Structure 1
Amino acid sequence: MQAATLSKTNLVRNELFLIFLLASVQFTNIMDFMIMFPLQDYFLKQFQIDTARFSFVLSSYSFAAAIAALIGANFIDRFNRKSAAIFLYIGFLIGTALCAVAHTYSFLLFARITAGIFGGMITGVILSIIGDVFPIEKRGKAMGGVMGAFSVASVLGVPSGIRIAMHYGWNYTFGFIVLLGLPILVLAALYLPSLPSKMEKQKVADFSQLVKVLSDRHNLFALAFFMSVILGGLTVVTSIAVYMERNMGFSKSEVSHIYEIGGICTFASSWIIGFLSDRFGKHKIFLILVLLALIPILAITHLPQDLPVHLALGVTTVFMVLVSGRVIPSMALLTSAIRPEMRGSFMSVNASLQSVATGIGALLGGAILVQLPDGTFERFDVVGYFAVGFNLLAIYLSRKVKVVS
């Protein structure tokens, strides 16, 4: 009995460490993307660009990730998950290092594309590892743990990056991400589980696996569902920092509070949401969270300029908790909507379309916002209406997602 208990305890510890390791990879990946939002004001001033050109930098990362993930979907299931994760993470760190030495708009654009090619595929591999290792009854909790990386990136990563930019320059922020990523790379090489391909060996790569994924109508519903989830948040998220700074009068340190306070609350809520998703069902929890998220989405895009800072921070915190919370049950649904032998390819396609949705969200937000002569922005409310529409579409499509594994 004692031996059995010890074995079970060791299993739990191994599962928790795996979640921690995958979350650490996601932490640097998410921070690299998220830090672009609060640094927007630096880029606008240094490169003398408008919000449309800045959103093009954001979307270039996303569209590069989309193309890479779509190509990778044809062969990702033929490789050991561990080998794929390590290779992609090395490429991501190289791309981020290039951002650290960027000195022109063109070079920054090239660096973001490089980071996007590799970073965009990492999420798909991580989700595939979760789907392979964790049974469906534990998948929501595991997904909540990995999603906690978003919270840690908000609490520690983004505020640290903002302060580094304030004192040393925005280039050093990307160097900081690389320094964080190097020990994570070593741990991944040592401790990620080896998960060999479940496909039969094929000598020549073709598009058969991609065709299989896209020829199934249930897969198409699942992919469209997650795209609408992403668009329901990113259209607003991309412009929050610069809007709060220019329109609400937030200082750069107060902008960092948005991520610190929101991240702390999101870190706690992500575990709770993961547990509730396993306990009461992914569809039900997703529906509740989306309906609740509509309130802060409309609130944050209609804030009066004379609103006290502490009240504005309250709105941004609720926004971050509920909008990021929707992703947990939606990801759990997604990883359960595909058979194990196709999960890597499916998640690569999903990562591609997720990046497309992110790029569209960035372009849409940048195109709708109009900068006035005094530096402030208008039509943020219109951005909110688009986000509401995408969330309602996500509710409809969620009923089409069927659990198969």
Structure 2
Amino acid sequence: MSRLSIYLLTVGAFLAVTAELILNGVVDMIAQDFQVSIAIAGQLVTAYALAFAIGAPIVITLTTRFDRKKVMLGALFFFILGNLMSLWSPNFTVLMISRVFLGISGGVYTVVAMSAVSKLVPSEKLGNAMGTFMLGVSASLVLGVPLGVVISGWLSWQMAFGLLAVLSLFIMIGIARVIPSLPGEEATPFKQQISVFRNGKIVNGYFITLFWGAGYSTAFTFLVPFLQETVHMETSAITITMFVLGLFSMIGTRLGGYGADQWGIAKTVYSSLIIHAFALLLLPVITTTVVTAVIMVAIWIGSAWMTSPTLQTYFIQQTPQSPDLALSLNTSVLQIGFAIGAGFGGFIVNATGTVTHTPWVGGCIVILGIVAALFCMQIKRELRKA
């Protein structure tokens, strides 16, 4: 039963994260259908990310004592509702509201499901179970955008959300039948929740997350129109490209975890951020053919996702007794970074009338992450000397 339970929760996480990423591949189609600019359509990413970052933690806090199974079922119900709203959106406003539903419900489900995994398996199998669950999240990075492009090109972008709604319904039924009742926990006092912000090492770590997420999102939100505008890439080629980029995100994630152990957190963070920034700064210059574009974007994506597991390791080291809160807040900060990046990228597109400048702006934002990393590691060195 435990294995089937983990698989159900994992597929649910895959669907939840896919709902966030799927939009990046169809932002141009949505802009055309609703007759809005690409910059405005890109704010759908901002809506999801802000709802995830702000709304999901509030809901999770308010439902801490509730049965975890019921919370997951409730989250999936609203997740299905959000996808159906996206499917039948008569105008852009309704679609924007649906993104808020998806951001909150998808975020609540993902976080609660991750916690549920730890309660469904014995301690000696926890690592393997968490590895399986995170594979679902990683798989969404590989398949989320290309699936959205394929389904949208074959049928319509609306049907991509319709498919998510149908699959989520099956997962909801499976969880209702298979997952046992999982009691809630005592709520974390507010004083304990804000205590992490008194730790300079953690706060600087959050700034790294914020800037790398914002820089990444500034460029990635408008990547499809960027490739279409610079190298005139067609839909079929974009689908393959997005799949390749997903693989590089997985490679980067694995390399970041390996680097944190073998090379140290500081070296891995510095190297990943530096490559990330330079790849974005060089992208508009080097992107003259499809081949050079794919190579440079792959380097960018791979280096970007090296940073995430390294920072997770960093936060665990800083709060070894209770890392959950620090990690949860880091996820919220990352989503806020994504929201800021999508919003700022849209502003740049509106101001310049082109998407070709978004990588340059994104690269400059990532450089701020490097500065934050310098401060972060400096604090660590001073504490060691003390």
Alignment of 1:145-156 (within 5 A): 148-149=135-136, 151-156=138-143
Map 1:89-100 → 2, pairs under 5 A: 89-100=76-87
State the shift of 1:23 in Å.
4.5
Please tell me whether residue 113 in structure 1 is matched to residue 100 in structure 2: yes
C-alpha spacing 1:22/1:216, structure 2 compared with 1 (3 Å): farther
d(CA) in 2 for partners of 1:370, 1:34: 22
- In the other structure, the counterpart of 2:384 is none
Q: CA deviation at 1:57?
A: 2.3
Pair 1:390–1:32, CA change in 2 (3 A): farther
The change in CA–CA distance for 1:334 and 1:83 in structure 2 (over 3 A counts) is farther
Q: Is the 8 A contact 2:83 2:102 kept in 1?
A: yes
Contact 1:165 1:171 in 2 (8 A): yes
Q: What TM-score do the two structures reach when normalised by structure 2?
A: 0.80
Does the C-alpha gap of structure 1 residues 164 and 354 become closer, same or farther in structure 2, counting only changes over 3 Å? same
Q: Is the counterpart of residue 369 in structure 1 residue 346 in structure 2? A: no
Describe the shift of the 1:114–1:319 C-alpha distance in structure 2 as closer, same or farther (beyond 3 A): same
> Are 2:281 and 2:359, in contact at CA under 8 Å, matched by a contact in 1?
yes
| Residue 386 (structure 1) aligned to one of 357, 360, 364 | 364
Aligned to 2:307: 326
Q: 1:298 to 1:253 in 2, by over 3 A?
A: same
Greater percentage in helix: 2
In the alignment, does 2:294 pair up with 1:316?
no
Following TM superposition, by how much is the alpha carbon of 1:255 offset from its aligned partner in structure 2, in angstroms? 1.4
Range 276-285 or range 383-392, more displaced: 276-285
After superposition, where does 1:244-393 map in structure 2 within 5 Å? Answer: 244-278=227-261, 280-304=263-287, 307-335=288-316, 337-338=318-319, 343=324, 345-370=325-350, 376-393=354-371
Aligned length: 379
Q: 1:340 to 1:323 in 2, by over 3 A?
A: same
State the match for 2:374 in structure 1.
396
Residues in 2 aligned to 1:296 and 1:130: alpha-carbon distance in whole angstroms: 37
Q: Which moved more, 1:26-35 or 1:116-125?
A: 116-125
Stretches of structure 2 lacking an aligned partner (at least 5 in a row): 382-386
Deviation at 1:95, TM superposition (A): 1.2
Which amino acid in structure 2 is aligned with residue 318 of structure 1? I
Instruction: Note the aligned Cα RMSD (angstroms).
Output: 3.8
In 1, Cα distance between equivalents of 2:116 and 2:267: 25
Alignment correspondent of 2:213? 230
TM-score w.r.t. the length of structure 1 is 0.77
Change (3 A) 1:218 1:94: farther
1:87-143 C-alpha deviation (Å, 9 max, x unpaired): 3233223212211111211111111111112223344445656788899xx97x987
Q: Percent identity?
A: 22
Deviation, 1:278, is 4.3
Q: Distance in 1 between matches of 2:4 and 2:215?
A: 32
Who is 1:66 aligned against?
Answer: 53
Inter-partner Cα distance in structure 1 for 2:375 and 2:60: 23
For residues 376 and 249 of structure 2, the distance between their equivalents in structure 1, rounded to whole angstroms, comes to: 23
Q: Structure 1 residue 157 and structure 2 residue 144: aligned?
A: yes
CA, structure 1 residues 116+26, in 2 after alignment: closer, same or farther (shift >3 Å)? same
Contact conserved, 2:270 with 2:370, CA < 8 A, in 1?
Answer: no
